[in-house]
Amino acid sequence: CISGDVSVCFCEVDGNPSPELEWHLSGRPVTNSSNTFISEERLSSTGLRSSITLHHNNTHGAASQLFHVLPPVE
């Protein structure tokens, strides 16, 4: 993840059946609100020292991916 005015994380997940996705910011579930926006590939408005986790699961199992938010490159 790269942080700036907006932090963007990308994660490609594939499964059959399609997995359910749940983003977590510093261990807490993230939902759409006035401070965050989740789409197929984006999560915004995070702090510089945050960790973001994407949990995904379907009937065949579960997995997760941990992202570390990095400060912007100058």
**Domain positions in the chain:** 1-74
Q: pTM higher than 0.85, yes or no?
A: no
DSSP, residue by residue, the chain: -B-SSS-B-------SSPPEEEEEETTEE---SSS--B-SS-B----TT-EEEEEEEETTEEEEEEEEPBPPP-
pLDDT tens digits, 42-53: 344 444 455 677
Mean pLDDT computed over 45-62: 70
Q: Which CATH number fits domain 1-74: 2.60.40.10, 3.40.50.450, 3.40.50.1220, 1.10.3720.10?
A: 2.60.40.10
pLDDT tens digits, 15-36: 777 777 787 777 888 877 766 6
- 10 pLDDT tier (thresholds 50, 70, 90): low
